[in-house]
Structure 1
Amino acid sequence: MKEGPDITHAAALIGEPARANMLVALMSGKALTATELASEAGITLQTASAHLGKLREGGMLVMRRQGRHRYFALASSDVASALETLMGLAARSGHLRTRTGPADTALRTARVCYNHLAGDLGVQMFESLRARQVLELSAGGLGVSPQGVSFLESFGIDLVALGRARGALCRECLDWSERRSHLAGSLGRALFSRIEALGWARRDAKSRAVLFTPEGLEHFHSTFPPRRD
């Protein structure tokens, strides 16, 4: 008898095209209604409702009620991480969407990956933090170094509050477009929230792209300078 986790159920849930499109739409970290997800998937509301039911039963989604409305979101950061990894695998295997355009370029530059920064600038930030030894690898995994504490606190990150939060503080997430890691975990989310609060960038209302202002981009490059090869 075969032992261990059965990946076929999760793979079947993600592998159906309409469900995959809905899951990817939720990678922004924003909860969406069934009507909005049906539009993302290009299917009827009735069909979308059936798919959403299966995704909830399979532990991929959670549903929240607000008044008469029902909103759906990814069940956890583990689901988002699995989706990002699969997107990277698809890109490396040559399975890319044929339609490209300005939105595609913007997504590759900077985008939201479950409320942390991904894309070229997300990778740049992660590699800058590693190069400056703000982040370090230890037996317990990726964490903040002693010298990194002062840097992050000076940037406005409340590490004490993050330490009380559930889930990992720091975690690598393989970036599908850059094929290198960006920073996930509660610290990744906090850094992106801080970038938004400073007015350096905003989320595009029509996609997962993150749009930096010219001044914000200058501040970003100064704070998280790109590596020099």
Structure 2
Amino acid sequence: MNTGKANPANAPVASRPTAGGTRGGDADIARVAALFADRSRARVLMALADGRRLPASVLAAEAGVSAAAMSAHLNKLRAEHLITVERSGRHRYYALAGPKVAATLEALAAIAPAQPVTSLRQGTRAQRLREARTCYDHLAGALGVAVTQALIDRGALVATDGVADTSRRSGDALSAPLRAHPYRLGPAAAPVLAELGVDLPALLPAASDARRPVLRFCLDWTEQRHHLAGGLGAALAVALFDAGWIARRGAPREVEVTAAGAAGIAGALGIHSEPTR
């Protein structure tokens, strides 16, 4: 829905600032899209989509290319500001440039055809990603959606549009951060989140930081329902990892619920699931 004034047909399109600070033309989508189109680079970006920093050797193994080829791919991704690099001692660690890149990967996954499953291992990994994964630094998949719904059910989150569930609303873009989310913190937010290991009062001052709002939500690409993101989503994921309730699997982005986590999440949120570890 267009909430602004209609522009005349011949109105100039606002230009975009370039890297040097000057005004440019329309966004060069093809230039950036070409980087995602290469299978090796796509594997690198997907490997980094859980928010971790990984060395080039690990990324080369994930993409199945040589060290020299990986160096060339990483240079191209850095040149277009899709990844960042941090030096630690003699090693360099690479990471996604931020949540927007992760959201782009999720959006592409929503419209991309599934790759043929040629082994049981591939099939089970696809299923594990649907069940529980990380979307940059917060939980996604069926687990992420279930946790978000449980927070609504327990009054930690309140729907502001009268729909008290995580279902997709009219106008929600597929697999993307919601432009205007229909939730706010509820009256039970502090105690419910404290039981999960999140100190909400300590997190709230970040609400003034426009770069990372406390509350943000995405439309999950596998579940087509909302999951919690933003500062609170990241803090909740860290708390569950630190408590040992969830753990990373060997493959990028995969998350598993531990035995302690199955009991803890059931007690705190009423989500009953069999531990996967």
Same fold (TM > 0.5): yes
- Matched residue, 1:223: 268
Where does structure 1 lack aligned partners over 5 or more consecutive residues?
Answer: none
Give yes or no for contact 1:85–1:174 (8 Å, CA) kept in 2.
no
CA distance in 1, matches of 2:159, 2:33: 31
Amino acid at match of 2:116: T
Distance 2:81 2:252 in 1: 25
Alpha-carbon displacement from aligned partner over 1:139-163 (angstroms, at most 9, x marks no partner):
9744322332332234331223323
Unaligned ranges ≥5, structure 2? 1-11, 15-25, 162-179, 273-277
Partner secondary structure for residue 214 of structure 2: coil
Partner Cα distance (1:178, 1:54) in 2: 33
Q: Which aligned pairs between 1:1-229 and structure 2 lie closer than 5 A?
A: 4-90=26-112, 95-99=113-117, 100-137=122-159, 141=181, 142-165=183-206, 166=209, 167-225=212-270
Identity of aligned residues (%): 39
Structure 1 length as normaliser, TM-score? 0.86
CA distance in 1, matches of 2:77, 2:160: 36
Normalized per residue, the structure richer in helix is: 1
CA contact (8 A) 1:125 1:225 kept: no
Task: Provide the rounded CA distance (Å) in 2 between the counterparts of 1:10 and 1:170.
Answer: 29
- Could you tell me how far apart the structure 2 residues matched to 1:208 and 1:222 are? 25
Structure 2 CA distance for partners of 1:226 and 1:215, relative to 1, 3 Å: closer
Aligned equivalents of 1:25 and 1:87: distance in 2? 14
Give the number of the structure with larger relative contact order, counting CA–CA contacts within 8 Å between residues 6 or more apart.
Answer: 1
Task: Output the TM-score relative to the length of structure 2.
Answer: 0.72
Q: Which amino acid aligns with 2:244?
A: G
CA contact (8 A) 1:143 1:169 kept: no
Deviation at 1:58, TM superposition (A): 0.9
- Paired positions, count: 223
- What is the alpha-carbon distance in structure 1 between the residues aligned to residue 81 and residue 36 of structure 2? 11
Aligned-pair CA distance for 1:226:
5.2
Divergent runs of 4+, >6 A: none
| Structure 1 counterpart SS, 2:251 | coil
SS of match in other structure, 2:223: coil
Distance (whole Å) between structure 1 residues aligned to residue 69 and residue 243 of structure 2: 41
Q: Which amino acid aligns with 1:217?
A: A
- Once the two structures are TM-superposed, the CA of residue 138 in structure 1 deviates from its matched residue by 5.4
